[in-house]
Amino acid sequence: MTEPTREEIIAAAKAAVAAKAEEAKRSNVPPVSLVYVIDNTVVDVLRTDERLAAIMLSEPTIVDFTDVEDLRTVNVTIGSTYDPETKTFTLPVEE
């Protein structure tokens, strides 16, 4: 029995990746997998869509406002701006 060629190994790897992608589509697994690494150790895995993956990979500022005393006073929506000095959000101006 002869050893597989480099091209055969690459073709087999590509076929395996394609098969996994097809399986993921059928099982509704999101197409992108991100890992969170702290101190060179993986601490979590996030499977998500391309949009959120692009946001997470752009190194966004993440603001935790869970402990805001009155969440009704925090009005945040997509397009709001954030002032890190005052730690306040401003709603986008509607035109």
At 34, is the pLDDT very low, low, confident or very high (cuts 50, 70, 90)? very high
User: Coil, strand or helix: which one is 89?
Assistant: strand
Smallest Cα–Cα separation from 81: which of 63, 54, 55?
A: 63
Mean predicted lDDT score pLDDT of the chain: 83
Give the pLDDT confidence score for residue 2 in this predicted structure.
84
Q: Within a 13 Å sphere around the CA of 64, how many CA atoms are in the beta-carbon half?
A: 2
Please state the pTM of the whole predicted model.
0.56
* Per-residue pLDDT at 58 exceeds 90: yes
Residue 77, burial from CB neighbour count under 10 angstroms (0-12, 13-18, 19+): exposed
At 73, is the pLDDT very low, low, confident or very high (cuts 50, 70, 90)? low
Q: What are phi and psi of 46, to 5 degrees?
A: -120, 125
Greater confidence, 39 or 95? 39
